[in-house]
Amino acid sequence: MQHLSIFPILIPLLFGALMLLPPISRDINSQRVASIIGTLFLLISSAVLLYKINAEGVQLYALGGWQAPFGIALVADRVSSLLVLLTAFLAFCVMLYAVSGQDKGGAYFHPLFMFQIMGINGAFLTGDIFNLFVFFEVLLIASYALLIHAGGKQKTQAALHYVILNLVGSSLFLFGLGILYGTLGTLNMADMAVKVGQLQGETATLAKTGALLLLVVFGLKAAMLPMHFWLPKTYASASAPVAALFAIMTKVGIYSIFRVYTVIFGENAGELANIATPWLWPLALLTITIGTIGVFASPGIKTLSANLVIVSSGSLLACAAINSEAATSAALYYMIHSTLASAGLFLLADVMARQRGKAEDRFVRSRPFVQPRLLGFAFAIAAMALIGMPPLSGFVGKIMILQATQSTAQTMWVWPLILIGSLAALITFSRAGTTLFWRHNGTIATDAEPAKTTEIVSIALLLLASPILVLFGGYITEFTQQAAYYLHDIQSSAYDLLPGVAL
């Protein structure tokens, strides 16, 4: 049990490496079995880790026995373990969908999938900002290949833009790390949080430059305006399992912003306290605005799903700008909801596109569905969840965000944009549902493919998470409140992780 913190990284690494070796590498069925077993093991170990952290508190795992701040440290706390469990559940559901045949489009889908999960979990668990960079690179390299899975001109073009932007982001990340290491002498997050308050004058100005460079990098990952333009085309062109898995990718950037600018550059950072807040406020609100415009202009379900991801990113960034325990708690709840609901809609869009012939997922008149009742019910659940209508989790998450506003000015900016975003989603989903289910030409397409059992189960699991988040809302919000308290408490999130250092 003492090694439980590294399991979410070790399990996908070992299974991914195993699937690169013969004879498994030559047999797609063996890879499918290995992937299902691997994601199931990951889900179980992540659930056990969350239970252990909730019962016993933070678990600091020092690789090789080298204690912080000198060694590589993994920090499993309520925030990171919650997001690791979210990733594991998403990975299991997406893999259930992929093994129905979506994984045949290109080579090495399964090992790449595992390596991306490894990178995502590593980014959530690391206690060292340099290793955050390392895990970013792991997940990005895997995502480059997964993005062009199944090939095609549109995928290649979107992947090229995605790769170039992220290569620039990686370079800026290294520049920022170099500046911060030069001024603080450490890249361990807890150690940085202790030392940053002592910086003054020119040294503090230099450290501020490094910190704002990191904000640019995290903003790129989180699709924060003006670095969001890559997301709609990238997500809409990706294969369904890849797009669904990518629903967690922006959350890695959001998590990094919360972790770095709450723990390191938060209230106790001296001259550098809350340096991100003046930048986050306008950019968060503009991100919601541009995402809302994109929702109105969406020509199909996949693009609509991608633009809703941008709206959710803006909402989460607004929580980071509010910078309170209530806002962080609301962000954690809303992060779970938006990740699973968006992933479910991406998978549902693929099933619907395969039954509409040449019209695919576009909002145009086409042939009727093979399974209209099943798809209609799933579409209604996904729409209600993402609009934020009661009694599903989107409504609870948005109410929590609205209640987290602390001043009249915050209320005047956040409330209208959140509510207008929901109205835009309601109008667009209504238009989409009317066109997709009621406006038909001819008979069912001859090449229409009914959804397979594993695909239905996968989508059902993702969409059922929304009412479950409401049914167990009391327990979940209590947990997110405890997680938020930990993140904002410098004693718990920094000093307790450094042996021999006292506040």
pLDDT of residue 503: 56
Coil, helix or strand at residue 128: strand
Element (H, E) at 179: helix 153-184
Radius of gyration of the chain (CA): 22
Mean pLDDT calculated for residue range 461-486 = 95
479 in a structural domain: yes
Query: Over 90: is that where the pLDDT of 369 sits?
Result: no
User: Does 502 fall in a domain?
Assistant: no
Residues 6+ apart with CB under 8 A from 336: 82, 86, 393, 465, 469, 476
pLDDT, mean of residues 492-500: 82
Residue 174 in domain = no
Task: Kindly report, residue by residue over 209-240, the tens digit of the pLDDT.
Answer: 999 999 999 999 999 988 888 888 889 888 89
Distance CA(413)–CA(418), nearest Å, equals: 9
Q: Give the structural domain span for 305.
A: 280-492
> Does residue 204 lie in a domain region?
no
**CB-based contact 333:403 (threshold 8 Å):** no
Residue type present at position 497: L
pLDDT at 361 (0 to 100): 86
The 10 Å Cβ neighbour count of residue 362 is: 19
Across residues 479-492, what is the average pLDDT?
93
**Which one is predicted more confidently, 443 or 43?**
43
Q: What is the mean pLDDT of the chain?
A: 91
Is pLDDT at 301 greater than 60 in this prediction? yes
- The DSSP symbol for 69 reads T
Given a cut of 60, is residue 299 above it in pLDDT?
Answer: yes
User: Could you please report the per-residue DSSP string of 429-482?
Assistant: HHHHHHHHHH-B-SS--TT--PPPHHHHHHHHHHHHHHHHHHHTHHHHHHHHHH
Q: How does DSSP assign 388-410, residue by residue?
A: T-TTSHHHHHHHHHHHT--SHHH
- pLDDT tens for 396-437 read 999 999 999 988 889 999 999 999 999 999 999 999 999 998
Q: pTM here?
A: 0.95
How many Å apart are CA 254 and CA 314, to the nearest integer? 10
Torsion of CA 95, 101, 104, 110, to 10 degrees: 10
Do the beta carbons of residue 404 and residue 327 sit within 8 Å? yes
* Domain presence at residue 414: yes
**Residue 313, pLDDT score:** 96
**Which pLDDT score, from 0 to 100, does residue 311 have?**
95
355/62 Cα distance (integer angstroms): 51
DSSP state, residue 265: S
Q: What percent of the chain has pLDDT over 70?
A: 98
State residue 502's pLDDT score.
56
Q: Quote the pLDDT of residue 26.
A: 86
147 falls within a domain:
no
What are the tens digits of pLDDT across the range 66-101? Answer: 777 777 889 999 999 999 999 999 999 999 999 988
pLDDT at 500: 64
Fill in the amino acid letter for 185.
G
**Out of 220-234, 364-378, 434-448, least confident range:** 434-448
Query: What's the N-to-C CA distance of the chain in angstroms?
Result: 30
Alpha carbon 456 to its chain centroid, in Å, reads: 23
Residue 448 domain flag? yes
Q: pLDDT tens digits, residue range 122-151? A: 999 999 999 999 999 999 999 988 888 766
What does the pLDDT read at residue 65? 79
Q: Is 353 part of any domain?
A: yes
Tokens 């999130």 correspond to what residue?
A: 493
Mean pLDDT comparison of 185-189, 191-195, 331-335, highest-scoring range: 331-335
The total domain count for the chain is 1
Amino acid occupying residue 141: I
